[in-house]
Structures are given as C-alpha cells and as structure tokens.
Amino acid sequence: MITLYHGLASTCSKKVRLALYEKGLEFESRLVNLQAFEQHDPEYLKLNPNGVVPTLVHDGRAVVESTIIIEYIDEVWSEPALSPPDPHGRAAMRVWTKWSDEHAYKAVYVPTWDRVSRPVARKLSDDELAKCLARVPTAERRGRWRAAAREGFSADEFAAASAEMHLTLGKLDHGLAGGGPWLLGEMYTLADIAMVPFVERIIDLEPGMVDDGAYGAVTDWLARYSERPAYQAAFFFEGKDARIKAIRAALGIG
Ligand SMILES: N[C@@H](CCC(=O)N[C@@H](CS)C(=O)NCC(=O)O)C(=O)O
C-alpha cells in the first residue's frame, strides 16, 4: 500500500508522482494544502518532521525527501529500471539529483514563494502569523514564512535565484549537447525525473530565458518529455479531461 502526501503544484511532489507513474504504480493521494498550512499539522509532522511535502508512506513507514523517495521507489519496484546498472552511470545520475536538490531547487525557491505563498501570507494578521509560525518546525522555514508575510524577498535574493536559473539551464544544455535524448544519453533515469519539474518551473516563472532559441537543447528535451504519458499524468494530476483519463488508463492507474 502506497500513500503519497503531496502538493499539486509542488516541484518536489511532481518528481515523486513522475517516478511512481513511470513505474505504473497507483497510490492513495493525500493532497496537502500548503497555503492552508496543512504541512504544519501535528499529525503530518509525525510523518515528516520538516513540515514539507512530499512524504511517501509505504507499508506503514514514511519516507521523506524527494530525491531519497525517488531512489526508494526505484529500489523497491525495479521495473522499468530508472538507474543505470553500473556504478559509474549511477554516480553520473547522482550528480544530477544532487544538482536538483542544491541548485535547481534554489533557482525557483524565492520566485515561487513570492508568487504563490506571499499573496496568502501577507493577508495574515499579526496574531494569525504568530500562531502559524509557532507551528513551523524549522527555523529556516519560519524565516521564509515570516518574510513571505511581511518584508518580502530582497533584490539580492531574486538576483541569486536568476543566476541559479541560468546556471541550471546552462548545465542542462551542456549535458544534452551530445544529442540526449535523455540526460545520461539513451537511458531515461532519475536524473531526468529530478530535473524536469524545476525546468518547467523556471520557464513558467521566466519564459524570456528561453527566447530566441536560448538553451535550445533544454527546450527540445522538455518538448520530448512532455510527450511521456507519465509526465502528463504527474504534471496534470487533477486533469479530468478525456485525454488525461486515457493516459491514466494506458498507464494502468485507472
Ligand atoms: N528537500 C525537500 C524540500 C521539500 C519542499 O521544500 N517542499 C515544499 C514544496 S516544493 C513545501 O513543502 N513547502 C511548504 C513549506 O515550506 O511550508 C524535498 O526535496 O523533499
């Protein structure tokens, strides 16, 4: 039995939905409304003490951290394999999953909070904010929610995010220069899964970054990617139209 606690628009949640769908796995969906602060609910914190999504619960035990979760999924359900069979290949894959956690995530963090969390947080009264902050389990996220609610994010933070976006797109462009079709060449792996939600988000936040054919190998990879049924099921999770239904049926996930 698999239960996924996740956010609809959350990049880290998309990574996990994508890995599950690539394996053709059905799961019980528990959507966590981040803008209603459900991630700080004491019951949820028992599963994920960091107060963030995603959390995968498998056979009654919780697994946290999106990169660790996708590796877990690939270990437990071995087909189709999403990691190279050799140590060198797996090391190359982990360069990308590490980049996803350390750079791609940072590229979208501030602009996403500014777009999604700030409009909700700034409406909180001082009392409501104090109550909300008292439930946030980590100092880093408390600071983030406070900034979202009050002073906002600085020009330096936006500039740092923009630099990370360019760095990430540049690294991907270089990595795909050999023709791909995937980040490690012929084999589609967790490297692709870990990176794609951030690329989609960067382009959504800053469409101008890929104007005039900039980072063309990346936009080609994303176009190729968006044809994958698992991508469509993971990214348009709540899609109710006939096409999404057909994709879900083709993946065997009803
Ligand atoms: N390193 C964690 C980061 C998780 C994370 O930041 N999740 C975001 C959504 S993408 C979240 O839950 N934000 C709500 C909050 O911080 O209150 C992972 O990869 O799972």
Burial (0-12, 13-18, 19+ Cβ within 10 Å), 249: exposed
63 pocket-lining for ligand 1 (C-beta < 6 Å): no
- Average pLDDT (82-106) is 98
141 pocket-lining for ligand 1 (C-beta < 6 Å): yes
pLDDT at 243: 65
d(CA 124, CA 119): 10
In sequence order, the β-bridge partners of residue 33 are: none
CATH at residue 210: 1.20.1050.10
Q: Are residues 101 and 70 in the same domain?
A: no
% of residues, the chain, pLDDT over 70: 97
pLDDT at 165: 98
211: number of Cβ within 10 Å: 9
Q: Are residues 132 and 186 in the same domain?
A: yes
Structure-model confidence comparison of residues 245 and 236, the more confident one: 236
Q: Ligand 1 centroid to 119 CA: how many Å?
A: 18
34 pocket-lining for ligand 1 (C-beta < 6 Å): yes
> Given ligand 1 and candidates 8, 11, 12, which is best to mutate, with the most ligand atoms within 8 Å of its CB?
12
Q: What is the CA radius of gyration of the chain?
A: 18
Q: Which residues contact 25 (CB under 8 A, 6 or more apart)?
A: 2, 73, 77, 253
149 pocket-lining for ligand 1 (C-beta < 6 Å): no
Per-residue pLDDT band for 241 (boundaries 50, 70, 90) equals low
Is residue 70 scored above 70 in pLDDT? yes
d(CA 134, CA 200): 33
Q: Are residues 113 and 176 in the same domain?
A: yes
Q: Are residues 106 and 74 in the same domain?
A: no
Is residue 3 scored above 90 in pLDDT? yes
Is residue 51 scored above 70 in pLDDT? yes
Assess contact for 240 and 231: CB atoms under 8 A: no
CATH at residue 48: 3.40.30.10
pLDDT at 251: 73
- Average pLDDT (213-221) is 97
Token representation of residue 206: 């800053």
Residues in the chain: 254
Q: Please name the residue whose Cα sits nearest to atom 17 of ligand 1.
A: 52
Q: Are residues 27 and 112 in the same domain?
A: no
pLDDT at 197: 98
Amino acid present at 42? P
- Average pLDDT (52-70) is 98
pLDDT at 183: 98
Q: Please name the residue whose Cα sits nearest to atom 10 of ligand 1.
A: 10
189 pocket-lining for ligand 1 (C-beta < 6 Å): no
Token representation of residue 234: 């993971």
| CA within 13 Å, CB half, 114 | 14
Q: Name the residue range of residue 70's domain.
A: 2-82+238-250
d(CA 59, CA 215): 42
d(CA 42, CA 117): 21
Q: Are residues 230 and 242 in the same domain?
A: no
Q: Ligand 1 centroid to 109 CA: how many Å?
A: 9
Q: Are residues 125 and 227 in the same domain?
A: yes
Query: Count of domains in the chain?
Result: 2
Q: Ligand 1 centroid to 229 CA: how many Å?
A: 25
Q: Are residues 126 and 246 in the same domain?
A: no
Q: Are residues 106 and 228 in the same domain?
A: yes
**Stated pTM of the model:** 0.96
Q: Are residues 108 and 151 in the same domain?
A: yes
Per-residue pLDDT band for 248 (boundaries 50, 70, 90) equals confident
Is residue 72 scored above 80 in pLDDT? yes
Q: Are residues 46 and 69 in the same domain?
A: yes
Q: Are residues 216 and 157 in the same domain?
A: yes
pLDDT at 48: 98
Assess contact for 243 and 250: CB atoms under 8 A: no
Q: Give the residue ranges of DSSP H helices in 104-241.
A: 105-112, 118-121, 126-135, 139-149, 155-175, 190-205, 216-225, 229-235
